Amino acid sequence: MSRVYNFSAGPAMLPLEVLEQVREELLDWHGSGMSVMEMSHRGKHFSAIAQQAEADLREILAIPEDYAVLFLQGGATSQFAMAPLNLLGESRRADYLNTGLWSKKAIAEARRYGEVNVAASSEETGFTTIPPPETWQLSEDAAYLHYTPNETINGVEFPFIPESPAPLVADMSSTILSRPLDVSRFGIIYAGAQKNVGPAGLTVVIVDPSILQEPLPMTPTLYQYRVHIENGSMYNTPPTFSWYVAGLVLQWLKRQGGLAAMGERNRRKAQMLYDAIDASDFYHNPVDPSCRSWMNVPFILADTSLDKRFLEEAEKAGLVGLKGHRLVGGMRASIYNAMPIEGVEALIDFMKEFERHA
């Protein structure tokens, strides 16, 4: 077996221990005589799996008891619609911060359902900064403030949690579980699982039910948070296998020392990589150092004609998924929880060697 270091933005690497456990349990989960894929989502076996995963997520993130935790489908993209449909209520107005390509998508979708005030934007900088809070134009009657704490494509992240009178709604797809977080500051946190939680197909949503409004009249049943809360995420068949694997990732996370240990490791990984990039004229990261992402590190080669060779040689060295997003170009190394420090060291060694001989 030869496993590569996969720097893809998502679906991303999973911890090897978790994959081994999945293999171990694949044909006969804990003496049930069947695979998790074959179980009824309402049976006793899957109920145990589902409850344990929720309990572990609550413990790891210290989620306030009155918050709901949902395990849904549809990806973070579904939440671009679900949040406004359930939160806009009568005001039909929301504030959004535009800090990257995922913010833009969330804004475009919310505009289908209500009035969006873009309270601040860093688009003129090419999304390389976070606009300072004193420049934000928040509205008085916004139902909520939506933002993207970590912009996966642009590699820019908020070094703080925004202060807002309206409830905060955050797309944490690429930063959830990367470090400790004060969940009580948020109205809704949502995340597609395939970056830092588990396999694709699962969307984790953490909701303060007190902020929910009457859903807009056209809201499909499956897009109503209340329906999912009342049915324990089992109004219809949930993504059982992804839920199970996410549960194993959460147990792995606990064995690693939880979010404090993970945050320290992630800070170190990012620091090592940015230091290597900054020490060279051959590579460049365009993001303001005060808001560089710990999770997604874009970098460009001074001579872009070398891009193709860089990627080919990296792949030969067992370093894959480094091609930057097509809208940004260059390279991007996504270094989520499951990327070990050795993977980042291998990338840095490769980059130095490539610079030497290219």
Ligand X SMILES: *Cc1c(COP(=O)(O)O)cnc(C)c1O
Residue among 132, 108, 127 at smallest CA distance from 118: 108
Per annotation, catalytic residue among 29, 56, 95, 102? 102
| Residue whose pair of structure tokens reads 């009568």 in the numeric block | 90
Q: Is 243 known to be catalytic?
A: no
Between CA 62 and CA 55 the distance in angstroms is 10
The residues, ordered by sequence, that sit 6+ positions from 210 with a Cβ below 8 Å of its Cβ are 66
Residue among 162, 170, 144, 173 at smallest CA distance from 84: 144
Select from 174, 224, 240, 266 the one that contacts ligand X (CB under 6 A): 174
What single DSSP character describes residue 292? B
Stretch that binds ligand X, among 60-68, 73-81, 213-221, 301-309 (CB under 6 A): 73-81
Q: Note whether 301 and 307 are within 8 A (CB).
A: yes
Select from 5, 6, 7, 10 the one that contacts ligand X (CB under 6 A): 10
Per-residue x/- mask for ligand X, residues 84 to 103, rule CB under 6 A? ------------------x-
Q: Is 102 known to be catalytic?
A: yes
Closer residue to ligand X (CB): 85 or 351 = 85
Between CA 49 and CA 53 the distance in angstroms is 6
Q: Is 152 an interacting residue with respect to ligand X (CB under 6 A)? A: yes
Give least dist CB 103 to ligand X, A: 8
Between CA 101 and CA 103 the distance in angstroms is 5
Between CA 148 and CA 192 the distance in angstroms is 13
Give least dist CB 212 to ligand X, A: 21
Per annotation, catalytic residue among 104, 195, 269, 323? 195
Closer residue to ligand X (CB): 174 or 224 = 174
Per-residue x/- mask for ligand X, residues 252 to 291, rule CB under 6 A? ----------------------------------------
Per-residue x/- mask for ligand X, residues 176 to 215, rule CB under 6 A? ----------------x--x--------------------
Per annotation, catalytic residue among 171, 208, 269, 294? 171
The residues, ordered by sequence, that sit 6+ positions from 241 with a Cβ below 8 Å of its Cβ are 36, 37, 199, 201
> Which pairs count as long-range contacts for 157-162, CB under 8 Å and 24+ apart, including other chains?
157/130, 157/291, 157/292, 157/293, 157/294, 157/295, 158/99, 158/130, 158/291, 159/130, 159/290, 159/291, 160/133, 161/185, 161/186, 162/97, 162/133, 162/136
The footprint of ligand X on this chain (CB under 6 A) covers a number of residues equal to 12
Closer residue to ligand X (CB): 15 or 192 = 192
Closer residue to ligand X (CB): 14 or 39 = 14
Give least dist CB 81 to ligand X, A: 11
Between CA 195 and CA 200 the distance in angstroms is 8
Between CA 155 and CA 101 the distance in angstroms is 10
Closer residue to ligand X (CB): 122 or 174 = 174
Select from 54, 109, 171, 208 the one that contacts ligand X (CB under 6 A): 171
The site for ligand X (CB under 6 A) is made up of 10, 75-77, 102, 148, 152, 171, 173-174, 192, 195
Return the active site residues: 102, 171, 195
